[in-house]
Amino acid sequence: MRKTITVVVAVACAALLLTGCGKTKAAKDAAPPAANSNKITVRYENPTKPEHQKYLNELKAKSLIDRETEYVNRELVFPINISFVTKECGVANAYWDGKSEMSLCYELLAKSEQDYKKWFPNDGADKLETYLESLVLDAYYHELAHALHQLYDLPVAGNAEDAADRLSAYMLTELEPDGVLLANVALHYHIEASHDTDIKQIAWYDEHPVNAQRALNYTCWVYGANPAKHAAALVGDQPGQLPQARAEKCEFEAATNAASWGKLLQPHLRVQK
């Protein structure tokens, strides 16, 4: 069974031997969040384009968004009701609207499927399925991070997009410790980075880290969660691998992601421990 957010924090803190990483006195004394029934609701919108229908069908049949939502609703108290919507947006994207709604666009899945098939034309349907599921889960937790930053008025001492990626890394590692999900997200950004062939066309101005950077960040967090298991595959000088100089910091990075997000979310847990 998946660990609760509080237990995860304790494990991460023990691993890092950080002092003061556990509950602060203020947190211990603080009243638990007011019990309320606010929650995330999932809504699947019908697409108008027939080619998007299969994504709706698969998302509904797999129930992975419902499963994660059930987990998050069990763990966290929300100040308002919010929703996670799958829909057609006219663009390959996922986003938090700054009010009460997170969205995952069918176009993002369609584009990701197309790109994956170009890279791996001989892969079976099961690998593509896991790849797309990984991207759905990453989008879910990345957008949830934006929602939580705003709804809980959390401090963002750094790049908010990077912080959102790190919540996703933390949650996906807890969900699937072998790193398959996160490795797929890293692969997604490697594929995206392969389109960045003209250095002048790369969106350096964008608030997101560039694709090549996000690819190696996710690789770092896969490796950092279990260095012994992944060293041979993920550390080296081949494309997609981590140079030793970054690799040696990844275990600390992965643990810090978990400890930092765990600490930020602790006051908002439904059950204070």
Binding site for Zn ion (CB under 5 A): 161, 164
Question: Could you give the 3-state DSSP secondary structure of residue 235?
Answer: strand
Distance CA 186, CA 234 (A): 11
- Which residue shows structure tokens 């997101």? 208
Q: Which residue, 161 or 176, has its beta carbon nearer to Zn ion? A: 161
Q: Assign residue 36 a region: left if phi > 0, alpha if psi is -120 to 50, beta otherwise? A: beta
Nearest distance, CB of residue 215 and Zn ion, angstroms? 16
What is the smallest separation between the CB atom of 236 and Zn ion, expressed in angstroms?
A: 30
Q: How far is the CB of 213 from Zn ion (least distance, A)?
A: 14
Transcribe 115-165 into DSSP letters.
HHHHH-TT--HHHHHHHHHHHHHHHHHHHHHHHHHHHTT----S-HHHHHH
**CB 141 to Zn ion: min, Å:** 11
Q: How far is CA 49 from CA 58, 88, 154, in A?
A: 15, 8, 38
Nearer to Zn ion, 53 or 159 (CB): 159
Spatial CB neighbours of 172, under 8 Å, sequence gap ≥ 6: 134, 137, 138, 141, 181, 182, 185
Task: Output the CA torsion sign for 259, 268, 170, 176.
Answer: positive
- Dihedrals phi, psi of 146, to nearest 5 degrees: -60, -40
DSSP, collapsed to helix, strand or coil, labels residue 54 as helix
What's the min distance (Å) between Cβ of 29 and Zn ion? 34
Instruction: Please identify, using beta-carbon distances, which residue of 204 and 238 lies nearer to Zn ion.
Output: 204
| Spatial CB neighbours of 161, under 8 Å, sequence gap ≥ 6 | 207, 208, 209
Closest separation between CB of residue 96 and Zn ion, Å?
Answer: 7
**Which residue number, 234 or 264, has a Cβ lying nearer to Zn ion?**
264
CB of 132 or CB of 167, closer to Zn ion: 167
Nearer Cβ to Zn ion (151/164): 164
Q: What's phi and psi for 51, nearest 5 deg?
A: -70, -15
Edge-to-edge strands, sheet with 82-87: 40-44, 82-87, 101-105, 94-96
| Minimum CB distance to Zn ion, residue 104 (Å) | 12
Q: Which C-beta is closer to Zn ion: that of 138 or that of 251? A: 138
